[in-house]
Amino acid sequence: MPELRKDPVLGRWIIISKERSKRPTDFIIEEYKSSGGFCPLCPGNEKTTPNEVLVLGREPGLPSNSSRWQVRVVPNKFPALVIEGELEKEGEGLYDRMNGIGAHEVIVESPNHDDRFAFLPPEQMLLIFQAFRSRINDLSRDERFSYVMVFKNYGRAAGASLEHPHSQLVALPILPRMVTSELEGTLSYYKYKDRCIYCDIIRQEIQQDIRLVCQNDHYVTLTPFAPRSPFEMWILPKKHSSSFTDVNEESLQGLVDIFSESLQRLDLCIPNVPYNFVLHTQPLRSEPLEHYHWHFEIVPKLTSIAGFEWGSGFYINPMPPEDTCRYLKDAM
Amino acid sequence: MPELRKDPVLGRWIIISKERSKRPTDFIIEEYKSSGGFCPLCPGNEKTTPNEVLVLGREPGLPSNSSRWQVRVVPNKFPALVIEGELEKEGEGLYDRMNGIGAHEVIVESPNHDDRFAFLPPEQMLLIFQAFRSRINDLSRDERFSYVMVFKNYGRAAGASLEHPHSQLVALPILPRMVTSELEGTLSYYKYKDRCIYCDIIRQEIQQDIRLVCQNDHYVTLTPFAPRSPFEMWILPKKHSSSFTDVNEESLQGLVDIFSESLQRLDLCIPNVPYNFVLHTQPLRSEPLEHYHWHFEIVPKLTSIAGFEWGSGFYINPMPPEDTCRYLKDAM
């Protein structure tokens, strides 16, 4: 059983995933799955993954786990958290721990091994966002879970261990620090100003037009004022909304358009750059929040000293976001 | 002039170091300085660095920047922050910024290019810790600075861009989030218990003896209860003290002994593993704090998905600290 442990000073939770445990010398980074080898996510190899929990684009009548699908969601074969069991919160002296109950799923983004997320046809990317929404809604019915984190690691340097296009989600029984810090920060601004800070950011960025990469009727992409990395981008809905699961189909289409455009602009600036994106949305089963605003953060993996910087909360970014914004705008 | 910018939601400060700015395609990780090439930190090449700000082990009477020294501290040739100027704090709409005033120095740990920190003779490592203490004391006289962060990147994967053994320090006009979060967490515990949480951790770890790697009269090394990475180690003084600069010579000798032993144990488990260490100490010119306890945190660079995890505050660690502790204990 994996275990959740809380750092007693910082309140930061860590997943100790013993199932993935190794000998000390095994930590050399694993071989990247090359296009030539066997791929467990390719059509025809459905039996090599755990049973699918969602499939989109399969004709009615075909059996589950058969090989005709457009998007397929399966439990991670090496999950960081397990779905079965109770949390059993307990102390150990001054420390706190609980069982590592949760879900860890892989969203297979396309049947085509060589597809790249940034260049997917719009109808394909739409299915992926629909899968995110559907899985979050489904997992929110499990009262043990507080949050579903949806993310993508693209490229080996950004943590992808499989080449086949995929993203991941983790359902957690606790709120990650990213979420609690954002909720605290936005609430504090809201108490003072009675406005959502992200709504204010969007207004200011559209007005200033120095960090605005692109926009459409529903969304903006901007390079944030204080980015951790060169070419960091945030995609935010223009209309206030605290939960990604509240997006309607028209808005999702706008999200597909701006996501594709933003990632394609990035790819034109730095071809095939590794990146992570993370969906930031409100906790499960929360009422709509006036002070919070869901969004995606896309962080390219560019600077080699990231390890130290993420750990210390102390970041050095060699390029102002106004410059990266200009590069991104000029790219197309 | 570099610039400091605050994320308006999280309160996280970022250094935008325009002097280091590059074109988008230049972000591919720089060539690692091989032993064969020119090394600016080797004796004889003192003219290729900025003028030294501290030297230890040079015979009296020899001119500054001459080539006889044991430890040499020089300003970073490509500093993230600059020493000259005023902070000029200002707003930009809802954002906050100030000039990137600070110091960025390189501590050259040995004249020998091929030395490794973990295997330095004790008298050499002692000089390095004395250099840390001396530079922090010196920089604390500059009222513009709030904090001096001392750290080491060992190995290219951990962010070292030069092979010659060296560590770094950055004097900052603001407190990094690592520090404010630790101060808040420890103060909250202190208010409730009237005790330093790190003192309690040390007591519990010595009593439990399942995460205690080694100890001597003055220090303990432990694998923390909720580590971000396999083989993460913390080195803490047994006697309560909030400031590294208060260590006396006898205690420093104990620090040298346990630091060498801890890193050598790590090296026996995973030969030549890249790592970062960071000194955690109180803000400059602070009164001694009852609730804070200075220490070093050593984090090996082992897991490839670190980029995503540091960013989201959501960590998956494949090996419990009790296991890594056992490996570290059995190594010698």
pLDDT of residue B310: 63
Interface of B with A in 42-71 (CB under 8 A): none
In this model, does residue A32 exceed pLDDT 50?
no
Residues A15 and B319: beta-carbon distance below 8 Å:
no
The catalytic site residues of A sit at: 166
**pLDDT, average across residues B25-52:** 76
Query: Which one of B1, B4, B9 makes the best mutation probe of the A interface by having the most chain A beta carbons within 10 Å?
Result: B9
Output the pLDDT for position A131: 98
pLDDT band at A30 (very low <50, low <70, confident <90, very high): very low
Please check whether residue A76 touches B, CB under 8 A. Answer: no
The pLDDT confidence band at residue B219, using thresholds 50, 70 and 90, is very high
- Decide if pLDDT at A25 tops 70: no
Residue type, B148: V
B122-177 confidence digits (pLDDT tens): 999 999 999 999 999 999 999 999 999 999 999 988 888 899 999 999 999 999 88
Enumerate residues 232 to 271 of chain A having a beta carbon within 8 A of any beta carbon in chain B.
269-270
Q: At residue B305, does pLDDT exceed 70? A: no
Rounded Cα distance, B205 and B198, in Å: 10
Catalytic choice (B166, B240, B280, B293) = B166
Distances (CA, A) of A140 to A63, A76, A98, A134, A146: 27, 19, 20, 10, 8
Residues of A in contact with B92 (CB under 8 A): 225
Residue A325's CB is within 10 A of a number of other CB atoms, namely 22
**B21 Cβ neighbours under 8 A, 6+ residues apart:** A318, A319, A320, A323
User: Which of A82, A99, A225, A277 to probe by mutation at the B interface, max B CB count within 10 Å?
Assistant: A225
In angstroms, the CA B332 to CA B329 distance is 7
Please judge whether B201 and A314 are an interchain contact, meaning their C-beta atoms are less than 8 angstroms apart. no
Q: Do A312 and B151 touch (CB under 8 A)?
A: yes
A305 touches chain B (CB under 8 A): yes
Beta-sheet pairing, B13-16 with A315-317: parallel
Closest CB from B5, B181, B310 relative to A10: B181
Give me the domains of chain A, ranges plus CATH numbers: 3-20+31-174 (3.30.428.10), 178-330 (3.30.428.10)
Which is it for the CA torsion A44, A50, A55, A60, positive or negative?
positive
B29 to chain A, closest Cα gap in Å? 6
Average pLDDT, chain B: 91
The pLDDT score that the predictor gives to residue A27 is 57
pTM of the model: 0.93
- Is-contact A293 A220, C-beta < 8 A? no
In this complex, is the C-beta atom of B186 within 8 Å of any C-beta atom belonging to chain A?
A: yes
pLDDT tens digit sequence for B186-195: 999 999 999 9
Selected residue with higher pLDDT from A104 and B304: A104
State chain A's mean pLDDT as an integer.
91
Cβ distance B16 to A320 less than 8 Å, yes or no, reads yes
A308 touches chain B (CB under 8 A): yes
- Interface residue A311 vs chain B (CB under 8 A): yes
Average pLDDT over residues A238-254: 98
How many helices (H) and strands (E) chain B has is answered by: 6, 15
Least CB–CB distance from B308: residue in A151, A156, A227: A151
Q: Token pair for residue A93? A: 């002296």
Nearest C-alpha neighbor of B305 from the set A173, A32, A200: A32
Q: What percent of chain A has a predicted confidence (pLDDT) above 70? A: 92
Residue A306 pLDDT more than 90?
A: no
Contacts of A17 in chain B (CB under 8 A): 316-318
Whole-number pLDDT of residue B1: 86
Residue-level pLDDT at B30: 44
Task: Tell me the C-alpha distance between A194 and A188, whole Å.
Answer: 10
User: In chain A, whose CA is at the least distance from the CA of B93?
Assistant: A204
Q: CA angle, B107 as apex, B101 and B111 as ends, to 5°? A: 150
Which residue do the tokens 């960013």 mark?
B311
Are A55 and A68 in contact, with CB atoms under 8 Å apart? no
Beta carbons of A302 and B27 less than 8 Å apart: yes
Q: Report yes or no: B217 at the A interface, CB cutoff 8 Å.
A: no
Nearest C-alpha in A relative to B98: A226
pLDDT at res. A314: 78
Let me know the angle formed at the C-alpha of B261 by B260 and B267, rounded to the nearest 5 degrees. Answer: 90
Q: For residue A148, what is the nearest residue in chain B, using CA coordinates?
A: B314
Closest chain A residue by Cα to residue B81: A316
A266 contact partners, CB below 8 Å, separation of at least 6: A118, A231, A233, A273, A275, A298, A300, A328
